[in-house]
Amino acid sequence: MIPVVRARLALALQREGLRVTETASALNTTPAAVVQYLKGKRGRLVSRPSQVDRTIDALAERILQRVRSGVREGVRMSELMEAADQLIIASRGSKMLEETPQKNEKQVVDVLRQRLELELRASERCLESAVKFDDQYSKLLLRMIAADSMRHADVVSQIISWTELPGEPTLNVPKREFLDAILQIEDKAGEQSLKDTVKISHPVAKLLLEWIDADEKKHGRIISKMVHLLRQC
What's the start-to-end Cα distance of the chain, in Å? 39
The phi-psi region of residue 20 (left if phi > 0; otherwise alpha if psi is between -120 and 50; otherwise beta) is alpha
Q: pLDDT tens across 117-136, in order?
A: 999 999 989 988 988 888 98
Polymer length of the chain: 233
**Of 24, 148, 133, residue with least CA distance to 86:** 148
* E strand residue ranges, the chain: none
Residue 66: predicted pLDDT: 86
Q: pLDDT tens across 139-193, in order?
A: 999 999 999 999 999 999 988 888 877 777 777 778 889 988 998 998 888 888 9
Q: pLDDT tens across 9-27, in order?
A: 999 999 999 999 999 999 9
Q: pLDDT tens across 99-122, in order?
A: 766 655 577 888 999 999 999 999
- Whole-number mean pLDDT of the chain? 86
